[in-house]
Amino acid sequence: MSKVLVIGAGGVSSVAVHKMAQQIADGSGPFSDILLASRTLEKCESIALSVKKRTDVDISVEQLDADDVPATVALIEKSGPDLVVNLALPYQDLPIMDACLATKTDYLDTANYEPRDEAKFEYKWQWDYHERFKEAGIMALLGSGFDPGVTSVFTCWLKKHHFDRIDTLDILDCNGGDHGQHFATNFNPEINIREITAPARHWEDGQWVETPALSHKQAFDFEEVGEKNMYLMYHEEIESLKTHIPEIRRIRFWMTFGDAYLTHLEVLQNVGMTSIEEIEYQGKKIVPLQFLKAVLPEPASLGETTKGKTNIGVIATGVKNGEQKTVYVKNICSHEAAFQETGNQGVSYTTGVPAMIGSALMLSNKWRGDGVFNMEQFDPDPFMDMLNAHGLPWKVEQLDAPLDF
Ligand code: NDP
């Protein structure tokens, strides 16, 4: 049985910890002890209280600033976890990986490293740790959320069971939820707005194709949600998928946004509130986007009011036994059901459940290797089975024709 140290106490962490505790309660999974550590101790305590109420499992809590590598090393040495699950922010990825190297402890996260002063969304910094993790005989699993995460597992599963070769891949992320707020983001606002305002990039014929942010719009009818406008965006799994499954000629990522959301964003951008450049304000240096985050609702607070569903999936076109075919695999998740089960909305749920599943597969040695790995480097089958068993069931259908856009 295994002990995990979960770092970060936002919505994603809350879901992952509830799901791990459910397995401690019913004796099904590899988890035996959970230590939850984050910058604000009260947030850890509040998750621990909810876990106790819902599952009757006790978890331990600690205050930790994970930017402080010696502090993280000291906590790992004191508590002796088998795995560190990083559910803080992308800025903490490298300091936490350094602490894992120093203590020879396995590592998992859900989002790739971001320097604070550049919006890059690139794996290069974390892939650079591969040799050091390999030499230390430890494993890092990167991007075990929904996208990245499940979308890469879906792609691998399609490749394994439905195709001899995949030619094109479209990842479609629809959040059909309504939280009743004028403007709020469903996960960390700073990371979310950085992603959306960055130029769109997709992979085609061996190169990146860059277009202005939010300039390519397409209507799509999402099952159980309805027709929505989705926009071409860059997303980090494109980089890892084109690296690990190089046969795919074109990889695109689409995300839905409502008109009101985009109007608010445009105004905020026009007045400079989404900038990540430091400015001087009343003798103090501030980053406008970080100030904006401070005045926006906490994603974790949106659970109670969010209604509707998410629908995230991948559509692959390729060849099987000489015939062209197109297959769509997706999950549909209800915000209300997610809230009822864990006290968090669907976007946290669809990320926290895969974080728990990745952790369980590492701890049970079903996914194992020395070095730094992305999701598509492992057998998708046990992950797909666990999605069905732990609240994110998926469905698969063959489409009549490839996408015509
Ligand atoms: P939140 O902002 O709700 O939570 C982040 C948590 O990390 C907070 O508790 C915060 O503490 C804590 N934290 C921040 N800095 C530090 C630090 N230096 N040391 C310790 N703790 C720290 O984010 P979410 O829960 O929505 O997202 C968590 C992660 O999941 C993010 O990296 C996000 O990018 C990723 N994500 C991935 C998705 C996927 O599908 N792959 C989808 C959605 C999110 P405090 O509140 O005290 O600042």
Helical axes 288-295 vs 189-197, angle rounded to 10°: 130
Residue 345, ligand 1, Cβ within 6 A:
no
What's the average model confidence in pLDDT over 373-381?
A: 98
Residue 64, ligand 1, Cβ within 6 A:
yes
Comparing 78-82, 116-120, 167-171, the range with the smallest average pLDDT is 116-120
Q: How far is the CA of 96 from the centre of ligand 1 (A)?
A: 13
Residue 43, ligand 1, Cβ within 6 A:
yes
The per-residue pLDDT for range 137-165, each reduced to its tens digit, is 999 999 999 999 999 999 999 999 999 99
Q: How far is the CA of 193 from the centre of ligand 1 (A)?
A: 14
Per-domain residue ranges for the chain? 2-142, 150-342+393-399
Q: At 3, which amino acid appears?
A: K
Q: How far is the CA of 128 from the centre of ligand 1 (A)?
A: 23
Residue 114 is predicted with a pLDDT of 87
Quote the distance between the C-alpha of residue 211 and its chain's center: 24
CATH 3.30.360.10 fits 150-342+393-399, yes or no: yes
- CATH placement of domain 2-142: 3.40.50.720
Residue 187 is predicted with a pLDDT of 79
The per-residue pLDDT for range 169-222, each reduced to its tens digit, is 999 999 999 998 889 887 788 888 888 888 999 999 999 999 999 999 999 999
Q: From atom 14 of ligand 1, which residue's Cα is the shortest distance away?
A: 88
pLDDT tier, 132 (very low <50, low <70, confident <90, very high otherwise) = very high
Per the CB < 8 A criterion, the answer to whether 297 and 369 are in contact is no
Instruction: State how beta strands 106-109 and 323-334 pair.
Output: unpaired
Rounded Cα distance, 394 and 405, in Å: 25
Rounded Cα distance, 138 and 106, in Å: 5
Q: From atom 4 of ligand 1, which residue's Cα is the shortest distance away?
A: 10
Q: How far is the CA of 93 from the centre of ligand 1 (A)?
A: 11
Residue 76, ligand 1, Cβ within 6 A:
no
Q: How far is the CA of 71 from the centre of ligand 1 (A)?
A: 18
Residues 6+ apart with CB under 8 A from 354: 110, 144, 145, 146, 149, 150, 383, 387, 392
Residue 38, ligand 1, Cβ within 6 A:
yes
Residue 188, ligand 1, Cβ within 6 A:
yes
CB atoms within 10 A of CB 212: 8
Residue with tokens 């997303």: 235
ipTM score of complex? 0.99
Q: Is the pLDDT of residue 301 over 80?
A: yes
Where b means 16+ CB within 10 Å and e means fewer, 46-78 reads: bbbebbeeebebebebbebebeebebbbebbee
Quote the distance between the C-alpha of residue 52 and its chain's center: 25
Residue 311 is predicted with a pLDDT of 98
Average pLDDT, the chain: 96
**Ligand 1 atom closest to Cα of 95?**
18
Per the CB < 8 A criterion, the answer to whether 225 and 308 are in contact is yes
Rounded Cα distance, 175 and 173, in Å: 7
Using CA atoms in the order 371, 372, 378, 383, what is the torsion angle rounded to 10 degrees? 120
The percentage of the chain sitting over the pLDDT mark of 90, rounded to a whole number, equals 88
**Ligand 1 atom closest to Cα of 150?**
40
